[in-house]
Amino acid sequence: MPKRSRARATGAGDEALAHPELALGHLEDCWDEPDPVPRAGRPDLEQLQGAWATVSGRRPAEFLVSGNHVTVHFADGTIYLGCFDLHPAASPKAMDVRIEEGPPPHRGLTALCIYELDGDTLRWCTSGPGQKERPSDFAAPDDAHHLCLVFQREHRNGARPS
C-alpha cells in the first residue's frame, strides 16, 4: 500500500499534507527496480511479449504478443488472432500459430513458422496457413512461398530502440 494512504489511514493526514515527503516515503520506494535478468537471458516466451512493428519484409505489419496469444495486424487491414506454441530447442527455433480469427479461408488452420530473437529484433518467417511444411530457413523477402518479416520491438512511449 502506498505510504500516502497509510498516513491518512492512521490519522497523520494533516502532518502528511504539511510535509509531502512524509506522505510519499522514500523516493526509492516510488519506482520499479530494473529487471535482475537481462532480456536476452529470459525464456523466449518472455522475450516475445509486447508489440513489434516491421522494419523489413513484403507485408508491413504489427505483431502483438500477450502470453501465448498473438495478433498480427497487416498494413492492408487484414488481422489474424490466435494462440501459439514455441519450440525453442528446434533449429531454427519454431512457432506453431493456430489461427482462431482472420480471413475465413484461414480460420482454424495452423501456420508453421520459424523465428529468431536478437534483443529488440525479431526475425519471423511463416509458410502459408495450413501448409504442412515449415520453412527450413529465412527466405528472401520476395519469396512467394514464405512470408519473412523483420520486426523491431515497440516501446511503451512508441519510440523504437536506438
What are the average pLDDT values for consecutive 10-residue runs of the chain, which has 162 residues? 44 53 50 51 93 96 98 97 97 98 97 97 96 92 88 75 47
* Domain count within the chain: 2
Residue at 61 is within a domain: yes
Containing structural domain, residue 7: 1-31
Task: Say if residue 62 is in the same domain as residue 1.
Answer: no
E runs forming strands in 29-145: 50-56, 61-66, 69-74, 79-87, 94-101, 110-118, 121-127
Are 25 and 98 contained in the same domain? no
Q: Is residue 161 part of a domain?
A: no
Give the number of other CB atoms < 10 A from CB of residue 159: 8
78 and 112 part of one domain: yes
* Model pLDDT for residues 85-117, shown as the tens digit of each residue: 999 999 999 999 999 999 999 999 999 999 999
Whether residue 60 sits in one domain with residue 1: no
Q: Domain of 100: which CATH number?
A: 2.40.128
